[in-house]
Structure 1
């Protein structure tokens, strides 16, 4: 059952983020925005990698994993220059499906598209966010990964030629 009640506050993501500091980079993580896409674990747990990353390859890996977080939960910046790494996205909207665990995920909003509250005010404009589709997030309109634990399926047809889950 879809619950339309907005439960997210309008505080900037970084205000409530936990920081993980390494020799070259700082990682901010605001777990309440987790979309449970698991891209942050593709090559190892980013929270561990950032704390030891020194070489350019290790730094690039941290940037890659943080930048592939569809919800923008993970933000990384250079410790010396304070420059935030953020991938460049054209404005676009898509749907995340997770065939690995057979669930339908959130709406992926990229490129700084403004998300407006029911009262007409804006949430923080960010380069990447995920919006709840299952109706059960405790951080609506944003996804918090609840779709995975409730095994949400939208029952929309998959791409032509693709097998059923």
Structure 2
């Protein structure tokens, strides 16, 4: 995980010709899967920091699906969407959140990937806000 916080008040969309990537900084836990997966697309040293057209839309979608917190989502121009795994995957991160990946209904909203608070300190319960790592 990266130490710096990159929070935004509301999710922001980055449009490409074949795919749009949405980022919710309030959900980002800085596991850096995006930065390692496609550094040409996800580069915090440039503005905008997400450039969806810097790689093939299939590659972008695959890296977005690796985001464990669900801070990143995508919409394909061809209408295809993320297919959650069945059964739901649950990962307990040592000294970190509980990661869920599947067809989820939490707090009356549909999700495919979320990070739940395991320490009890989050101000966004049941979701992790990385409080225990700040």
- TM-score normalised by the shorter chain: which range applies? 0.7 to 0.9
Supply the distance in 2 between the matched residues of 1:78 and 1:114 (Cα, whole angstroms). 22
List 4+ stretches of structure 1 deviating above 4 A. none
Residue aligned with 2:50, SS: helix
2: CA distance, partners of 1:137 / 1:84: 34
CA offset digits 1:104-160 (Å, max 9, x no partner): 221011212333xxxxxx3313111110112232322111233332xxxxxxxxxxx
Q: Is the 8 A contact 1:36 1:148 kept in 2?
A: no
Q: Extract unaligned runs of 5+ from structure 2.
A: 1-9, 44-48
Query: SS of 1:113's equivalent?
Result: strand
Q: CA RMSD in A?
A: 2.2
Equivalent position of 1:154 in the other structure: none
| Structure 2 SS opposite 1:41 | helix
Contact 2:84/2:101 (8 A) holds in 1? no
Structure 1 position 87, deviation (Å): 4.3
Residue by residue, what CA displacement relative to the aligned partner does 1:66-92 show, whole Å, maximum 9, x if unpaired?
10011211111123x3x2531431213
Q: Which has the higher contact order (CA 8 A, sep 6+)?
A: 1
Match of 1:3 in 2: none
Q: Distance in 1 between matches of 2:50 and 2:110?
A: 28
Residues 1:49 and 1:87: Cα distance change in structure 2 (over 3 Å): farther
> Counterpart of 1:125 in 2: which secondary structure?
strand
1:11-37, Cα deviation, whole Å (9 max, x unpaired) = xxxxx4211112221111111111322
Question: Which runs of structure 2 are paired with 1:25-104 in the superposition (5 Å)?
Answer: 25-42=19-36, 43-44=38-39, 45=42, 47-50=49-52, 52-53=53-54, 58-79=56-77, 81=78, 83-90=79-86, 91-97=88-94, 104=95
TM-score, L = length of structure 2 = 0.72
Report how many residues are paired: 116
Partner of 1:23: 17
TM-score by length of 1: 0.60
